[in-house]
Amino acid sequence: MKKTTHSCFLLIILLIRMVPSLSSTVNYTDPTLEPVATENSVIRQKIIDSQFKCYERMNRAPPYKKKGLFCNRTWDGWLCWDDTPAGRITAQNCPDYFPDFDPTERASKYCDETGNWFRHPESNRTWSNYTLCNSFTSEKLKMAFILYYMAIVGHALSITSLLTSLAIFFYFKSLSCQRITLHKNLFFSYVLNSMFTIAHLIAVVPNPGLVKRDPVSCKVLQFFHQYMLGCNYFWMLCEGIYLHTLIVVAVFAEEQRLHWYYLLGWGFPLVPASIHAVARARYFNDNCWMSVDTHLLYIVHGPVMAALLVNFFFLLNIVRVLVTKLRDTHRAESNMYMKAVRATLILVPLLGIQFVIIPWRPENRLAGEIYDYIMHILMHYQGLLVATIFCFFNGEVQGALKRQWTQYKTQWGQRRREHCSTRSTSYTATSITEVPVYLYHHDSNNEQLNGRYVEDSELVALKSGETSA
Amino acid sequence: AHHFIAATACQEADYSWMIRHYCLKQFQLSMEGIGQQLWCDWDETVGTYGELTNCTALIAERLDCYWPNRLVDEFFVAVHKQYFRNCSPSGRALHDPPNSILCPFILLPVLVTLLMTALVVWRSKRSEGIV
């Protein structure tokens, strides 16, 4: 998450910096100190700061030990350069002093074969190449705007779809069971997360004045943001643990007590969020805690990744049990349970893949852009994905919606009045062979039993088979 | 612009002398005024340091030298050796705490997460009565 938000927020910070009021007045090809104007004093301050750090570093670093000619360490007015062997080009990230300098681009300096720094042929002075720092800025600005609006749209869509799903779950009482309760909590945490993210993107990110003032409220917002992020992933973990307990540990467990799940889903994420807040306040107290250049973010992202990993292993274990133990004897049931697990099994890798591919942002410009778009979609459209997979693609939900629709049609039309009576007779016929309703049906015409356990000869055989295995 | 450069080349010895006798003197007076205890306090010394930098740049402009240059590097290295040697390095910018502090901060929540997960699995296993 770190580097993703790195590229994400760097582009957004690039966006902040493109505020037209701060125009750059410096000639980029050779750094000189301009006369102090009020707007430039902040910039000068940063440069003096870097200069101080550079000379400190030049003092403390050990002298050059390798053989051969080299160029001496130097301060070129903007960046610090170490001792470099002759004939080599050295590079580092561009500074962030000016609004249109992109800190993800590279500035370079050439040490020639005679052990002297490269001199610009026109002015005959030592010269570092900062041309890449501001050459692509306008395109990057455009893309930053696109990604920014994409993020806001993603979260808005997520909130809409999640609220719709929650409405469906609350309205159709026939659907409710323990798994659906867990879904409701998961969706609720996603809604809150999206709301906090939108608040952050709209109120804090485009507002450099607020960031400069650094009120406590924006740090509190960030705290809740991290808390909600934890809630999202820990509720996914709760879903996985629930399925695991249901299928592997005790097949057909009667109602589990959900208190521990609530504790893990809502209560526990306070722990990493609080530790992060304390560590950030103590060691890396930047304005509004917006910086993503710190490893302290792993205080929250580490447990999240651990939760995803544990979840993934639970799901693999479930699949293993379903495939090995139930495959030979009860193919039908095993298929049915597989359908239940399938949704979660699709979601967990999708949510987790962003953590895996973060470190590998491609260097190539076009590939990097595609990477950014994909990461943004994975990050900001998660709520929509979860709502779709857990609710809209759910056979039960689709069945309930269809029934409701036909009910409206019979209320307002005079057709199909007999459909209700045929349905009630098929209820008794089909309910006996159905498996417990916490799992999904592919046949949507069946009436649902409200979480009641259906005793069945095959199921009894399954249980005894489980205990003797 | 070639003829300008040929006519008024940068006199290194002059430059060196001038920054030591004008800029450094001013800096010394200011720093003594601040007091040795506060030399490592960046908020106190930033103004003086900035003036020193400005001074070296202005003299470079007068003598038609480009700024910064090798002499400026040597000059500032000497200034740092004299005035800022005992200050904690890079204490100005925000940076991560050392690994000995960072690692426990990160590992503790991860371990607590795993413990909590195990606890929930164990409790949910025990809470059901069947099997």
Q: Are residues A319 and A389 in the same domain?
A: yes
B87 and B100 in a common domain: no
Of B68, B97, B127, the CB nearest to A256: B127
Judgement on whether residues B114 and B62 belong to the same structural domain of the protein? no
**For the segment A210-265, what is each residue's pLDDT rounded down to a tens digit?**
888 889 999 999 999 999 999 999 999 998 898 888 877 766 556 778 888 999 99
B113: closest CA of chain A, how far (Å): 6
CB contacts, 8 Å: A238 with chain B: 120
Judge whether A66 is closer than 8 Å to chain B, CB to CB.
Answer: no
Q: Which range, of A205-219, A356-370, B87-101, averages the lowest pLDDT?
A: B87-101
Yes or no: say if A279 and B96 are a contact pair by the CB < 8 Å rule.
no
Give pLDDT, residue A347. Answer: 81
Read off the pLDDT of each residue in A75-80 and give the average, rounded to a whole number: 91
The answer to whether position A228 is within a domain reads: yes
Choose one of A107, A129, A151: the last residue of a domain. Answer: A129
Which residues in B lie closer than 8 A to residue A178 (C-beta atoms)? none
Q: How high is the pLDDT of residue A23? A: 33
Q: A242 to chain B, minimum CA–CA distance in Å?
A: 8
Whether residues B10 and B69 share a domain: the answer is yes
**Interchain proximity A257–B69, CB inside 8 Å:** no
Residue type, position A257, single letter: R
Burial class (CB in 10 A: 0-12, 13-18, 19+), A443: exposed
Asked if residue A355 and residue A240 are part of one domain, the reply reads yes
Q: Are both A197 and A214 inside the same structural domain?
A: yes
Same domain, B114 and B56: no
Do B58 and B89 lie in a common domain?
yes
Contact in structure between A304 and B117 (CB atoms under 8 Å) = no
**Chain B partners within 8 Å of A275 (Cβ):** 105, 108-109
Distance CA A352, CA A112 (A): 47
Residues of chain A found within 8 Å of residue B89, distances taken between Cβ atoms: 56-57, 60
Residue A345 domain-assigned (yes or no) = yes
Q: Which residues face A71 on adjacent strands?
A: A84
Are residues A87 and A142 located together in one domain of the fold?
Answer: no
- Residue A146 and residue A111 share a domain: no
In this prediction, residue A421 has a pLDDT band, given cuts at 50, 70 and 90, of very low
Q: Are residues B85 and B102 in the same domain?
A: no
Task: Please report the beta strands in A61-105, taking only residues with DSSP state E, as ranges in sequence order.
Answer: 70-71, 74-75, 80-81, 84-85, 88-93
Give the model's pLDDT for residue A446. Answer: 38
Question: Is the CB of residue A72 less than 8 Å away from at least one CB of chain B?
Answer: yes
Q: Could you give the number of structural domains in chain A?
A: 2
Q: Give yes or no: residues B84 and B100 share one domain.
A: no
Report yes or no on whether pTM surpasses 0.90.
no
CA–CA distance from A63 to each of A60, A76, B73 (Å)? 9, 19, 15
Residues B75, B109, single domain; the answer is no
The encoded tokens of residue A215 equal 């009120």
Q: How far is B37 from chain A (nearest CA, A)?
A: 18
Cβ within 8 Å, pair B96-A124: no
Contact B54 A56 (CB under 8 A): no
Nearest CA in chain A to B65: A125
Give B48 or A429, the one with higher predicted confidence: B48
What distances in angstroms separate CA A364 from CA A100, A360, A361, B59, one per listed residue? Answer: 21, 11, 9, 44
- CA nearest to A343, candidates A299, A394, A399: A394
pLDDT at B13: 87
Distance CA B131, CA B126 (A): 10
Q: Which residues of A touch B114 (CB under 8 A)?
A: 306, 310
pLDDT top residue among A22 and A60: A60
Q: Give the span between the Cα atoms of A113 and A438, in whole angstroms.
A: 74
Using a pLDDT cut of 90, give the percent of chain A over it.
32
Q: What mean pLDDT comes out for the span A48-57?
A: 88
pLDDT at A357 (0 to 100): 78
Handedness of CA A33, A36, A38, A41 (dihedral sign): positive
Alpha-carbon dihedral sign for residues A391, A393, A399, A403: positive
Q: What is the ipTM of this complex?
A: 0.74
Residue A464 scores a pLDDT above 60: no
Mean pLDDT of A437-452: 39
- Residue A273: what residue type? A
Task: Report pLDDT digits (tens) over B107-128.
Answer: 999 999 999 999 988 887 765 5
- Kindly identify which residue of chain A lies nearest to residue B98, measuring between CA atoms: A283
For chain B, how many structural domains are there in total? 2
Question: What is the average per-residue pLDDT within A76-93?
Answer: 91
- Nearest CA distance, B46 vs chain A (angstrom): 8
Could you report the per-residue pLDDT of A33-42, keeping only the tens digit for each?
333 344 567 7
Same domain? For A64 and A148 the reply is: no
- Of B69, B113, B123, which is closest to A306 when you measure between CB atoms? B113
Could you tell me if B46 and B105 lie in one domain? no
pLDDT tops 60 at residue A26: no
* A268-307 tens-digit pLDDT: 999 999 999 999 998 888 888 988 878 899 999 999 999 9
A183 found inside a domain: yes
Shared-domain flag, residues B85 and B107: no
CA distance A124 to A114: 16
Do both A111 and A142 map to the same domain?
no
Which residue of chain A comes nearest to B91, CA vs CA? A53
Of A95, A129, A163, the last residue of a domain is: A129
The arithmetic mean of pLDDT across residues A85-107, rounded, is 87
**What length does chain B have?**
131
Identify the CA nearest to A237 among candidates B123, B110, B117, B125: B117
**The domain containing residue A399 runs over which residues?**
138-403
Q: What is the pLDDT of residue B3?
A: 46
Q: The domain containing residue B88 runs over which residues? A: 1-95
Same domain, A183 and A244: yes
Q: Is A54 among the domain residues?
A: yes
Residue A234 belongs to some domain of the structure = yes
| Interchain pair B113, A32: CB under 8 A | no
φ/ψ region of B31 (left if φ > 0, alpha if ψ in -120 to 50, else beta) reads alpha
* CA–CA distance, A388 with A383 (Å, rounded to integer): 8
Query: What does the pLDDT read at residue A15?
Result: 42
Contacts of A53 in chain B (CB under 8 A): 90, 92-93
Cβ-based contacts of B4 with chain A (< 8 Å) = none
Q: Does some domain include residue A294?
A: yes
Q: Hey, are the CB atoms on A256 and B101 less than 8 Å from each other?
A: no
Is residue A425 included in any domain, yes or no? Answer: no
Which of B46, B59, B110 is most worth mutating to test chain A (most A CB atoms within 10 A of its CB)? B110
**Same domain for A222 and A95?**
no
d(Cα A199, Cα A223) in Å, to the nearest integer? 13
Distance from CA of A94 to the nearest CA of B (A): 17
Q: Express each pLDDT in B44-84 by its tens digit.
A: 888 899 999 999 999 998 888 888 888 899 999 999 888 88
Q: Does one domain contain both A326 and A201?
A: yes
Q: Is any Cβ of chain B less than 8 angstroms from the Cβ of A249?
A: yes
- Judged by CB atoms closer than 8 Å, whether chains meet at A253 and B130 is answered as yes
Q: In whole angstroms, give the CA distance from residue A444 to residue A398.
A: 7
> Which CATH number fits the domain that encloses residue A123?
4.10.1240.10
Regarding whether A117 and A142 lie in a shared domain, the answer is no
Check: CB of residue B32 under 8 Å from CB of residue B24.
Answer: no
Interface contact flag, B73 A58, Cβ < 8 Å: yes
Residue A448 structure tokens: 């649902």
Residues A150 and A292 in one domain: yes
Q: Which of A380, A403, A426 is the last residue of a domain?
A: A403
**d(C-alpha A35, C-alpha B1), whole Å:** 23
What is the model's pLDDT at position A423?
A: 53
Distance CA B21, CA A74 (A): 23
Q: What is the CATH number of the domain that holds A236?
A: 1.20.1070.10
Residue type, A253: A
**Burial class, A424, CB count within 10 angstroms (exposed 0-12 / middle 13-18 / buried 19+):** exposed
Q: Do residues A28 and A131 lie in contact, with contact meaning Cβ atoms separated by under 8 Å?
A: yes
pLDDT > 90: what percent of chain B? 27
Is B68 close to A77, i.e. CB distance below 8 A? yes
Contact A16/B47 with Cβ under 8 angstroms? no
Report how far residue B116's alpha carbon sits from residue A81's, in angstroms, rounded to the nearest whole number. 48
Percent above pLDDT 70 for chain A: 76
**Whole-number average pLDDT of chain A:** 78
Measured distance CA(A140)–CA(A372) in Å, rounded: 12
DSSP annotation string for B28-76: HHHHHHH-GGGTT-HHHHHHHHHHHHHHHHHHHHHTT--SS-HHHHHHH
The answer to whether residue A438 is domain-embedded is: no
pLDDT at A252: 56
Chain A partners within 8 Å of B128 (Cβ)? 245, 250, 253-254, 256
